[in-house]
A and B are shown apart, each in its own frame.
Chain A
């Protein structure tokens, strides 16, 4: 079945270490996104990519980096510059709404919960 895979589901890192979160999709979607969610808050956009080898900053890009070398993959690196990295991270991909299986065009992964100690 097509979908988005985020790994790992839970991740623990020591403060000051960079960590990379994986996001892979086999939906042939052009656009991919990374969101961050803190307890009791909505999702906030970190980075997004509309096409391979291109990406744009979202609302809270500081302390994060991404790459889009392949259509299927959009890894997110949480760097040591990110002041409060502990959060729930969601990856998503999209096609034009109404053109695929999902009515809104979006597919979300199951998330990675990052804890920095």
Chain B
């Protein structure tokens, strides 16, 4: 079973920030939080990951709570192309063959 809980769906207006929450209350000390997104009928795309500090890259920002039991993926200026299903996964970082376990994810709809 997935070790994360996400809302099934969210929406936001184009150009506004999209904030996608994830609960991972049973995360272990060696597990990172990874975010992926999947556009219809394609393979999942890596977005960002973090351990305990907030992270930012060209795609998104990741905010992890101090107790590491939840996190939020932030798309600062959502575009229509960001409409996708977003998955939050916890996993060890360097495990050579860690099998990704996907939950149902959050279906984000960006409205024009």
Contact = CB atoms under 8 A, between A and B. Distances in A.
A104 B46 contact: yes
B41 A88 contact: yes
A42 B104 contact: yes
A96 B95 contact: yes
**Closest 8 CB pairs between A and B?**
A108-B43, A31-B97, A42-B102, A50-B97, A43-B102, A104-B46, A42-B104, A96-B96
Interface of A: 30-31, 33, 35, 41-45, 48, 50, 58-59, 88, 90, 92, 94-99, 102-104, 106, 108-111, 113
Given A88-B41, A111-B41, A45 B96 contact: no
Given A30-B97, A94-B98, A96-B95, A42 B42 contact: no
Interface string B77-107: 0000000010100000111111111111100
Contact of B46 (A33, A48, A50, A103): A103
B30 to A, nearest CB: 12
A92 B23 CA distance: 26
Interface residues of B, number: 25
B87 A42 contact: yes
Interface of B: 2, 34, 36, 38, 41-44, 46, 49, 85, 87, 93-105
A106 B46 contact: yes
A92 B96 contact: no
B57 to A, nearest CB: 9
B100 to A, nearest CB: 7
A58 to B, nearest CB: 7
A103 B49 contact: yes
Given A42-B2, A98-B93, A111-B42, 9 more contacts: A33-B100, A42-B103, A45-B100, A50-B97, A90-B43, A92-B43, A92-B100, A96-B94, A104-B49
